[in-house]
């Protein structure tokens, strides 16, 4: 990780959260072929339509919420994030996941600590609150408390491993700020649903207010989605950022 920082008590902290595209079978043309098979049959796979036709058909599908043609475009991301963010990701149950296992490998001494720009304080009641940056004192308190907890937890984790306690049991002392690595695979329809919930966009029909850490994952995924399927992504935005 690029931003690893040594903490005073021997553990390391990082604010890095990454979601890298590692495999895909995703294209606007694939959406069009999947839609056209209902009327063109075998010929749908060999048709060659221009950009104007694809924009029109994909816009129609999005506008009328005909979602199944978007399910044939697949994307796989390699996500590196703290465990609490991975759990947010895994709430999207139409995805497929394989996660780093603390039963089979020892975990490193790297823990998540928000970057200096992360808002820290919640103002208002649940469902109607906003976040504010907080003071330098707030940030110092967060760092001190987090590093103290991380250091104690990792010390006890290592102490149990050194005594021969099984990895699957020693891990119980580690916090949700421990980093994990996940393969996450979805189709374009599922990804659009994820983005509608996990990216804050004032132009959305239903504006979402996700936790910042999962939004960092979602924004990186949306960049790749827009690159692979620009017509589909544009239609998604045009029609209120709703999954069809």
Give the residue numbers marked as catalytic: 198
Q: How many CB atoms lie within 10 A of CB 163?
A: 8
Beta pairing partners, 183: 78, 98
> How far apart are the C-alpha atoms of 103 and 12, rounded to whole Å?
22
Say how many CA atoms lie within 13 Å of 94 toward its Cβ.
12
- The DSSP secondary structure of 178-221, one letter per residue, reads BEEEEEEEEEHHHHHHHHHHHS--TTSSS-----HHHHHHHHHH
Question: Which residues touch 95 (CB under 8 Å, ≥6 apart)?
Answer: 89, 184, 185, 186, 190, 194
CA distance readout (Å), 93 to 98, 119, 186, 189? 13, 29, 10, 13
Contact 77, 188 (CB under 8 A): no
Pair type for strands 110-112 and 12-14: parallel
């Amino acid at each position: 990780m690029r931003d690893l920082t040594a903490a005073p008590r021997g553990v390391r902290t990082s604010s890095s959260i990454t979601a890298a595209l590692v495999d895909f079978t995703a294209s606007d043309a694939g959406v069009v072929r999947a839609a056209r098979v209902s009327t063109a049959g075998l010929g749908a796979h060999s048709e060659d339509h221009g950009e104007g036709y694809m924009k029109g058909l994909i816009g129609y599908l999005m506008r009328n919420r005909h979602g199944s043609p978007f399910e044939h475009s697949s994307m796989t991301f390699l996500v590196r994030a703290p465990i609490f963010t991975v759990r947010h990701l895994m709430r999207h149950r139409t995805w497929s996941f394989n996660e780093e296992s603390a039963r089979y490998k020892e975990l490193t001494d790297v823990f998540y600590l928000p970057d200096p720009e992360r808002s820290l304080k919640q103002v208002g009641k649940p469902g109607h609150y906003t976040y504010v940056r907080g003071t330098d004192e707030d940030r110092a308190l967060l760092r001190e408390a987090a590093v103290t907890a991380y250091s104690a937890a990792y010390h006890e984790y290592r102490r149990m491993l050194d005594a021969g306690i099984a990895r699957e049991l020693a891990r119980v002392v580690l916090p949700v700020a421990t980093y994990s690595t996940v393969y996450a695979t979805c189709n374009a329809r599922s990804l659009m649903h994820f983005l509608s919930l996990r990216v804050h966009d004032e132009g959305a029909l239903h504006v979402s207010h996700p936790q910042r850490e999962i939004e960092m994952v979602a924004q990186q995924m949306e960049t790749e989605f827009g690159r692979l399927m620009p017509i589909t992504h544009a239609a998604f935005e045009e029609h209120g950022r709703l999954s069809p």
